[in-house]
Structure 1
Amino acid sequence: MATTEGSSNGQHSLSPSEQRGKSRLASLFESPSNLQKCHRCEATVYQAEKIGPVKGVVFHKQCFRCNQCGQHLTLKNYTTNQVDVSDKNVYCQVHAPKTVAKGLGNEAIGIRGALAQQKMQSDLGKKGNIGQAPLIDAQSLAIKGALHAPKAGGRVNEQIHQGATAGHIDANALHIRGALNTQAQYQKGGKMPHGAHQYPAYVIEKKGKIIEAQKVLEERQRLEEDALYKTFRAEREDEKRKLSQELDQEWEIKLKDLTEKFEKEFGKKAPKKGKEGDFKVNKSADKSVAFTDDLEKTLSPDELARVSHLTMQFEQQKKELENSMTAKRDNKKKYMTLKLVQKEQQLAGDLVAKHSQEMLELIAIKQKEIKQELQQEIEMAKQESVTLENGQVNGGEVAMDDLIMQAEEALKAMSTMDELPPPRPAACKKRELYEDPSVFTDLDEYVFKIADSEHSTWTDLVQQLTAPCLSDLEKVRAIFRWITVKDLNVIEFDETVVEDTPLGLLRGIKYGTETYHVLFMRLCSYAGLHCVEIKGKSKSVGYEPGMKFRDDMFNNTWNAVLVDRQWRLVQCNWGARHLVLNKDNEAAPAVEKSEKRRDKIRYQYDEHYFLTDPEEFIMEFMADDPDWQLLPTPITIKEFEELPFVRSVFFHFGMNFLDNPKSVIYTNTRGGAEVKIRVSADIVRDVVFHYQLRFAQKEKKHETDYKGAKLDRFVFQSMMNDHVIYSVHVPTTGDYFLEIFANKIDDSHKIGEDPNAPMMPFRLKCACKFRVVCETLTNKMHPLPNCAAGEWGPEKSVRHFNLIPLTHKSGVVTTSDSMEMQFRMPRKLHFVTKLRMNGIDDHFLDRFVKQSISGDVVTLSVQFPQTGQFGLDIYARPVEASDNHTLAHACKYLINVDKVSNPVELELTRPENASTHMSKEKWGPTSLFDKFGMKCINYRDPKIKLNSTNQIVVEFSVPETLQVSYHFLREPDEDHRDNVTIVREDSNKIAKFFINMIRPGNYLLAVYAKFESDPGKKMANVYNYMIKYAPDDGSLGKKKSGLFRK
């Protein structure tokens, strides 16, 4: 055996083929980090944006460009350096380093056959000179490639191949077929989408056979589907006709009865000279009643008036009957349509399931056929490669090895499955498939463009959708995003849409017979993905914590799709919810509206419902078949009802419950209950929480207060490290709903460099909800001080202002006499503080709070006037901000004062003479009103009636040094002080009372006053208003009693 000399280090040199093989082998042992770096930009390459490996390296799709000119390349048209095998860059056809014609030697693949044939011809005595350069004509493969002019059906010179003994290569060989078919594809104008994964042309051709078979099957299935939809239309028309006949007959009978009744009445009241036939009732809308000329002439004016009155009664009753029948027709039509749609959905779903199975079986059969062909051709190609080596004809291994490798990759990609795995938990969590949706950014953008266009066949749509996809995961993602971005709920169908148009594909959506999950299953089958339909219960719209599931309520359907032989859950319908989309119904060009809608929608789908982990999915959905819960241990319907009510926001922010609460929480005998939620530590500083406490009874669902105090004041929310705590103390026995909201904020919701930039408002979304049940209450619970809504403690100031607490880091403080608290400021801030106490007017407490600033530290000093419970609100804004810049709430504290050495007597907001037993003579001004120099500006009548609004502003002219207060009561004895705000304007010369009545009723506004120069005196009652709020809808009863009885 011939050998070659080794290099100076004693190792023998390798042939190009061996070097390439070694390079490939070495790449298998490289660290994963090296394999995931782009060869061009050296940044990490994720699966969704990966191309390669090519020569053992990978590229980003955007980096897969010619090393010389930068032209974007694909796996279909790239070329590598055939001269230097160590060069791992890619090139276009023009700039690829390659041997030129004058340098072709006996190693060139294009003339191996020619050399062998030349030797044979020489032996046969044919003309030829071995010592000269071999004759190269246009049949040589290398020159064919250089000339870019091979023909799809062309063959290499028959004489050469018939006589060649070394390296039998013909047009059926993998590498030649690839070159020929590539040219054929190019000549046909066939181009794959930008960035799509490209197999060699001969593999594309084989896949094209599958696509053609799919189209044939789709056409047959469409005919079957057309027939089904024809039966749907026929049945709908038949049911509509029957309904019309039934109602028309009913109308005729009732109208006849009404007419006969009227004719009897006419006979009683008409004069005796009238006879049968003198009066006629017509059914036409324009002339319902008519008299004969003879009768009309014989009637006296009084008789004619009586008959006319009777006629008007008839017309009115006929109109009422007509309206009643129209409403009945609409209700029956709605019920009929609902029943038909349910039936049609079931039939259409069954047919799509059948078609999907047929499509999957077809794809599996075709893939097996192609696999067998590829395997045979790969074996033949490997044998030819070995034959070439043994024949000492070197230099072509690179091209041959490339083709073999690509064919083997294609073979692996065509995975077939003889038997589906049973439903069982997946081997890994969703986060192990992908950590962040951003890995799909390029794919999602590609899908958005596809969604803007229309397709006439499902085959074409799915082929285009999945063209860039390298894995099952990416295919499922492309289908999911197409459905969610398409926003099928708002598609407007023209009545002229027919089945063979692009929108005809979505006719099932138009008729209401095809749902999201059926459409998803259909699209998956065209992509060769196994998908099943799962039926079960869901905690959907209308469900409240503690409800029991019944057979006919809260039914839902979703999908499980097979991704890399693991079943994953998908809920397209909920994933496509666009709850925050403000639809613009104004007239606008269709293209412009579509553009705006797409821009809004694409970032508003819900990622949570794509491949949701079963442990999270079970919180909202429970499959009827326990196996399809995909849990290690399936749960029962009772356990499902007891699970906390949560929404996707809960999982988006990595939340979990600390004490495993149930959906229904029972309070202790003091009305107390607690909920603790942990938040992902890496985003806890950016997550904002809020809550709402409301009555669970339907008749009270709109009531947000209890005896004038907001129900939210019976909840204490605080943050501790990475968890939020809700302490509830309900005011009375009964059932309540505690709803917890959350959202993530960004820099626009924090204090920024621009001192005048306002903090932008943000939308909070429901994270979870509980039913709170208080069966026994032994103590009367008082509301918390009336501070700004939301959480207590300094965490809010850190989050929004970067205002760091130096002293008090908890939201609850217990102290005596006085306290000082300090904060470190990130910049100079202007502060306003408000001390609050139940029953005391806020402005009476202002003098007990002082502030001072030293460097970057602000100190707040509070001297408490009495023992009891106080609330301290802290507001702030940048010092440089303009005067009209609104102060933002920074934080608040709950302060319990257990001892005060020198208590100060405070004026109560409900003075003693503000009794509910006030007599009716005291409406209006008292004798002190004029003595205090007060005047009414707008409402001079003390009795006010409101129908169209629940808000008014009462204004008084007052001396600058006069202090004013009020009491606001709703009959019989509900304190609604929280619904009134006093504003002093015009240098304190005008006092405005902004009043809001939250529900109908009778209200008392009692105004009190005293001069600042009389600190020892109590406030005196100066004016009393009686306000009756009765909306136009008549929701307020007519009963009058108690204080407001006349």
Structure 2
Amino acid sequence: MATTEGSSNGQHSLSPSEQRGKSRLASLFESPSNLQKCHRCEATVYQAEKIGPVKGVVFHKQCFRCNQCGQHLTLKNYTTNQVDVSDKNVYCQVHAPKTVAKGLGNEAIGIRGALAQQKMQSDLGKKGNIGQAPLIDAQSLAIKGALHAPKAGGRVNEQIHQGATAGHIDANALHIRGALNTQAQYQKGGKMPHGAHQYPAYVIEKKGKIIEAQKVLEERQRLEEDALYKTFRAEREDEKRKLSQELDQEWEIKLKDLTEKFEKEFGKKAPKKGKEGDFKENKPGVFSEHLERTMSPDELARISVNKSADKSVAFTDDLEKTLSPDELARVSHLTMQFEQQKKELENSMTAKRDNKKKYMTLKLVQKEQQLAGDLVAKHSQEMLELIAIKQKEIKQELQQEIEMAKQESVTLENGQVNGGEVAMDDLIMQAEEALKAMSTMDELPPPRPAACKKRELYEDPSVFTDLDEYVFKIADSEHSTWTDLVQQLTAPCLSDLEKVRAIFRWITVKDLNVIEFDETVVEDTPLGLLRGIKYGTETYHVLFMRLCSYAGLHCVEIKGKSKSVGYEPGMKFRDDMFNNTWNAVLVDRQWRLVQCNWGARHLVLNKDNEAAPAVEKSEKRRDKIRYQYDEHYFLTDPEEFIMEFMADDPDWQLLPTPITIKEFEELPFVRSVFFHFGMNFLDNPKSVIYTNTRGGAEVKIRVSADIVRDVVFHYQLRFAQKEKKHETDYKGAKLDRFVFQSMMNDHVIYSVHVPTTGDYFLEIFANKIDDSHKIGEDPNAPMMPFRLKCACKFRVVCETLTNKMHPLPNCAAGEWGPEKSVRHFNLIPLTHKSGVVTTSDSMEMQFRMPRKLHFVTKLRMNGIDDHFLDRFVKQSISGDVVTLSVQFPQTGQFGLDIYARPVEASDNHTLAHACKYLINVDKVSNPVELELTRPENASTHMSKEKWGPTSLFDKFGMKCINYRDPKIKLNSTNQIVVEFSVPETLQVSYHFLREPDEDHRDNVTIVREDSNKIAKFFINMIRPGNYLLAVYAKFESDPGKKMANVYNYMIKYAPDDGSLGKKKSGLFRK
């Protein structure tokens, strides 16, 4: 019997095997806070990147490397120090310190047996898994046990154990049984799903017992669910029958009343109803029967009527010969009148039937969803209880086997070496891992805020890339049982977080909203598994709760209010509006919020009519679906979730201090884009913002500094009143011109000055751009358009307005300032870095160009034609610096638009808007008189004599090409093009007014064609009304003269729907 080192001083010390076993078993009872630092790098370890505990310590996945050579290791191939128990590092097989048997070579009988066993296992693995990776490799527990154990032959065992005093080990010992089971797995050629965690065979076997128990319970639950769905179908049929009977009776009564109405004067026999449920009369000879029913007895006595269906034509001929023309006309008129009213009754009853059927279906679905949800909740609880019971049973078995394993030892007579030490060490480690994986809770934690934020669980969704791809492949296949589906989904998962992720991504990628079901689908097929989706009785959150229960995850259903489609800032919640349901799932004993339905939102995609292989279509469709997935609604932090959802139960808000429904209404209206780009508000605004007496209000948003240069913002200001929701202008000026958007450093500012009292909606959009939206190396490559998404929305209320607000100059839409030029062109401002400039007389601004660019500038001022201002802006380029010089003609407010494109680009390459500035000029030493676009005599109230050409029209050599009548009426379109033939050197301008005094100049564009010989006015009327188009002209050779009025059109736009009204207007007075 070998003596153990370290047992001096009369004290018994544990063997290395016992010390390792004690260390690992003790790790089960260590506080989680002791396991949060990586043993290698000493940084915090989160669940998604954790490996271990190994010898009571944990590692990052990337830190789980050999302590000697740095080779990356896994739970399948690592090993530990066999000599120094206190060494907590991990090693590869080559560099792991091991105990050495003195005096034993590879010819020693025990070693020879182990080598033979190794060769046998290697050969068997090659035969059973040709071209495949083995299920459990040579570093797995059971295989290592086989390698270090002697052959099972009686003669060899007798030689090894001759004289040994260790306890007896038979085929029931845990590590021997594992080796045998592993050998059986190899012989069967079994293989786990790709990426699955490779537990030893004995753990897989025990886990299989749980799966079998789940299948048995699922079968029983399915029978119960079948019974419920049968009641659903029966109730639907019964309600459908009742509705049909009710409407049939109503049809008969109304048809009888209609018939009696005519019979009082002419008839005596009511028509019969046709087919059941069809409000039509399908009898032959209808015309003759109607005539017979509507004629008086004297009239019928004068003719002979053959009532057979095939004689109806002869009957009509006889009738025409018998009755006078007046009598025949009267009969025909009454027949047509009856048929018309009967047809109207049919249409009315059909519409009523459809509405009642829709309402009935909605009520039934709501009732069925509640019943089905309750049943799934009950089944989920049963499944969780079953799993907990089975896991406790298996834990007890494992604990007993661990204790047995600690007491077992095999001692070689020669060399006095514990030959079972290596296998025993790994055995205890793997068993402890299995115990930890099957941890159960006797009592669920109450709803309370999680200990850490979502970003501490995982910083970026890319950590789930491999798992997500695995789930996508699973989603392409179908399963006939929930047990099989969930087992396959969670096969590679090592933590609650990964299991929840796999289930969530399967639901969001499956696109359950567009699944098409054949009416012949039977209940025990893959599609039958989703019959709740087919019938509309199972929703995303119910399905999520069901799948979580099969994975052993605790999940609850939460009901509350949401700021969903149709909700606007400032609205009050009512009991019957904006109800919603979502989930909370327990991840590592912390409740986390999940909204599957919003995470799986899908946009309507353009349909590809061209034929394509099914596989190719499937791949394209899946890629598009994945693109629409919203990561924000997976394990959302409560502080962000409360911005859109509020639980009815305050505890399930998971906030340190729950809020009230009034506070929820006052929170800003935001969407997931707001959080994706790390936005937050600087001044904590409420959902409703009140302006000052000058109509001013401001919203400030900070953006994550990491991506601020790649985020594009836009906005829309519109009236909040329903009757004005389609109006985008005020007195001809776009409402967006009353908002100033600018960016400074990492925040965007919206300054609003509304034009009149009332309620408005300010909607702010954002999106992240990439290199395709910037100037690139290819000079002719266009900047690709991008779709902006709503980030937040506010109601802006102006109760009092003391000053008249004027719109900003009519520059290109969007933000002011040079940040846009930096973002898209890398055009760096050297002088003016703010979007607002205050100056006198003149101004120079400079930019540094990343490459040679061609520039076009447009100076704009309200009331002045742009081309009159072109001569006041000049540009020059020196090296990589462009200088823009502006000489202002008058005081006032100007806008400067800057457009650019690469010099190498072709002439037809469109210039892109680079940036714009708002310039306030407070002093001009030498002012220049400018032509106003609206002369003082321009008005919609003109006398009849002033419509059409003026006396100067012919003097200027102008001719009308299309509309020669100055009074134009439009009903079917709101767009028109007016063309004139003009001399090449004649300058033309216009003014466009809507009665009574709205300036709509922005809705007209002039285009000169045919070498300036044709002037086209493209006119767009944004809403019904009476308009004046006043055309002005002067020759270029007369710079000192004012433009003269040469032609006036009056245009009445009155759509066919009569929305304009019947009021007589000033333009059309008689």
Please give the range of the TM-score, normalised by the shorter of the 2 chains. Answer: 0.7 to 0.9
Matched position secondary structure for 2:155: coil
Change (3 A) 1:33 1:821: farther
Whole-Å separation in 2 of the counterparts to 1:436 and 1:251:
63
**Which residue matches 1:347?**
371
Change (3 A) 1:92 1:500: farther
Whole-Å separation in 2 of the counterparts to 1:199 and 1:235:
49
Contact 1:4–1:12 (8 Å) recurs in 2:
no
Deviates more, 1:331-340 or 1:175-184: 175-184
| 1:913-947 deviation line (CA, Å, top 9, x unaligned) | 32222122333222212211222333333333333
CA drift of 1:26 comes to 16
| 1:817-862 deviation line (CA, Å, top 9, x unaligned) | 1111111111111111111100000000011111111111111111
TM-score with structure 1 setting the length: 0.87
Change (3 A) 1:13 1:335: closer
Contact 2:818–2:916 (8 Å) recurs in 1:
yes
**Which residue matches 1:101?**
101
**Which residue matches 1:416?**
440
Contact 1:968–1:977 (8 Å) recurs in 2:
yes
Change (3 A) 1:23 1:650: same
Deviates more, 1:392-401 or 1:70-79: 70-79
| 1:414-442 deviation line (CA, Å, top 9, x unaligned) | 11000000000111111110001111111
Matched position secondary structure for 1:981: strand
Whole-Å separation in 2 of the counterparts to 1:355 and 1:553:
30
Whole-Å separation in 2 of the counterparts to 1:810 and 1:1035:
45
Contact 1:851–1:861 (8 Å) recurs in 2:
yes
Whole-Å separation in 1 of the counterparts to 2:520 and 2:316:
50
| 1:94-152 deviation line (CA, Å, top 9, x unaligned) | 99999999998699895799999999999999999999999999999999998999999
Change (3 A) 1:4 1:147: closer
Whole-Å separation in 1 of the counterparts to 2:108 and 2:10:
29
| 1:80-102 deviation line (CA, Å, top 9, x unaligned) | 99999999999999999999999
Deviates more, 1:262-271 or 1:184-193: 262-271
CA drift of 1:470 comes to 0.8
CA drift of 1:187 comes to 3.7
Matched position secondary structure for 2:40: coil
| 1:611-639 deviation line (CA, Å, top 9, x unaligned) | 11111111110000000000111111011
Change (3 A) 1:34 1:669: closer
Whole-Å separation in 2 of the counterparts to 1:124 and 1:251:
80
Whole-Å separation in 2 of the counterparts to 1:240 and 1:503:
26
Change (3 A) 1:503 1:163: farther
Contact 1:161–1:169 (8 Å) recurs in 2:
no
Whole-Å separation in 1 of the counterparts to 2:327 and 2:27:
111
Whole-Å separation in 2 of the counterparts to 1:394 and 1:149:
11
Matched position secondary structure for 1:292: helix
Whole-Å separation in 1 of the counterparts to 2:96 and 2:123:
38
Whole-Å separation in 1 of the counterparts to 2:277 and 2:374:
62
CA drift of 1:183 comes to 2.4
Deviates more, 1:634-643 or 1:3-12: 3-12
| 1:550-602 deviation line (CA, Å, top 9, x unaligned) | 00000000000000000000000001002364455777665443322111111
The percentage of aligned residue pairs carrying the same residue is: 100
Change (3 A) 1:387 1:649: same
Deviates more, 1:261-270 or 1:1032-1041: 261-270
Contact 1:76–1:200 (8 Å) recurs in 2:
no
List runs of 5+ in structure 2 lacking aligned partners: 281-305
**Which residue matches 2:673?**
649
Change (3 A) 1:774 1:946: same
Change (3 A) 1:126 1:225: closer
Contact 2:103–2:415 (8 Å) recurs in 1:
no
| 1:693-728 deviation line (CA, Å, top 9, x unaligned) | 000000000000000000000011111111111111
- Answering whether residue 266 of structure 2 is matched by residue 242 of structure 1, we say no
Change (3 A) 1:121 1:67: closer
TM-score with structure 2 setting the length: 0.85
| 1:442-477 deviation line (CA, Å, top 9, x unaligned) | 110110000000000000000110111111011101
Change (3 A) 1:1009 1:367: same
Whole-Å separation in 2 of the counterparts to 1:155 and 1:699:
98
Whole-Å separation in 2 of the counterparts to 1:153 and 1:605:
59
- Answering whether residue 342 of structure 2 is matched by residue 328 of structure 1, we say no
| 1:862-920 deviation line (CA, Å, top 9, x unaligned) | 11111111111111111111111111111111111111111111100011232222122
Contact 1:109–1:396 (8 Å) recurs in 2:
no
Deviates more, 1:248-257 or 1:724-733: 248-257
Contact 1:161–1:168 (8 Å) recurs in 2:
no
Contact 1:278–1:291 (8 Å) recurs in 2:
no
| 1:754-795 deviation line (CA, Å, top 9, x unaligned) | 111111111111011000011111111100000011111111
Contact 1:572–1:610 (8 Å) recurs in 2:
yes
| 1:15-34 deviation line (CA, Å, top 9, x unaligned) | 99799999999999999999
Contact 1:743–1:765 (8 Å) recurs in 2:
yes
- Answering whether residue 992 of structure 2 is matched by residue 1001 of structure 1, we say no
Matched position secondary structure for 2:127: coil
| 1:783-824 deviation line (CA, Å, top 9, x unaligned) | 000001111111111111111111111111111111111111
CA drift of 1:527 comes to 0.5
Deviates more, 1:458-467 or 1:571-580: 571-580
Whole-Å separation in 2 of the counterparts to 1:579 and 1:130:
46
**Which residue matches 1:1033?**
1057
CA drift of 1:334 comes to 0.2
Deviates more, 1:667-676 or 1:1000-1009: 1000-1009
Contact 2:25–2:432 (8 Å) recurs in 1:
no
Matched position secondary structure for 2:335: helix
Contact 2:124–2:187 (8 Å) recurs in 1:
no
Change (3 A) 1:896 1:95: closer
| 1:983-1041 deviation line (CA, Å, top 9, x unaligned) | 22333222222211111222221110001111121111112222232334443334332
**Which residue matches 2:776?**
752
Change (3 A) 1:104 1:203: farther
Deviates more, 1:393-402 or 1:65-74: 65-74
CA drift of 1:678 comes to 0.8
Whole-Å separation in 1 of the counterparts to 2:761 and 2:451:
38
Contact 1:152–1:184 (8 Å) recurs in 2:
no
List runs of 5+ in structure 1 lacking aligned partners: none
Change (3 A) 1:186 1:223: farther
Matched position secondary structure for 1:1027: strand
Q: RMSD value over aligned CA atoms?
A: 7.6
CA drift of 1:679 comes to 0.8
Change (3 A) 1:836 1:758: same
- Answering whether residue 31 of structure 2 is matched by residue 31 of structure 1, we say yes
CA drift of 1:198 comes to 1.5
Change (3 A) 1:150 1:699: farther
**Which residue matches 1:378?**
402
Whole-Å separation in 1 of the counterparts to 2:618 and 2:782:
32
Contact 1:545–1:645 (8 Å) recurs in 2:
yes
| 1:514-563 deviation line (CA, Å, top 9, x unaligned) | 01000000000000000000000000000000000000000000000000
Contact 1:580–1:604 (8 Å) recurs in 2:
no
Matched position secondary structure for 2:412: helix
Whole-Å separation in 2 of the counterparts to 1:120 and 1:822:
80
Change (3 A) 1:323 1:272: closer
Deviates more, 1:120-129 or 1:727-736: 120-129
Contact 2:774–2:825 (8 Å) recurs in 1:
yes
Contact 2:141–2:423 (8 Å) recurs in 1:
no
Whole-Å separation in 2 of the counterparts to 1:132 and 1:459:
26
Change (3 A) 1:831 1:92: same
Whole-Å separation in 2 of the counterparts to 1:935 and 1:126:
94
Whole-Å separation in 1 of the counterparts to 2:119 and 2:1030:
121
Contact 1:945–1:1027 (8 Å) recurs in 2:
yes
Contact 1:48–1:443 (8 Å) recurs in 2:
no
Contact 1:716–1:726 (8 Å) recurs in 2:
yes
CA drift of 1:316 comes to 1.0
Contact 2:129–2:189 (8 Å) recurs in 1:
no
Contact 2:900–2:912 (8 Å) recurs in 1:
yes
Change (3 A) 1:62 1:109: farther
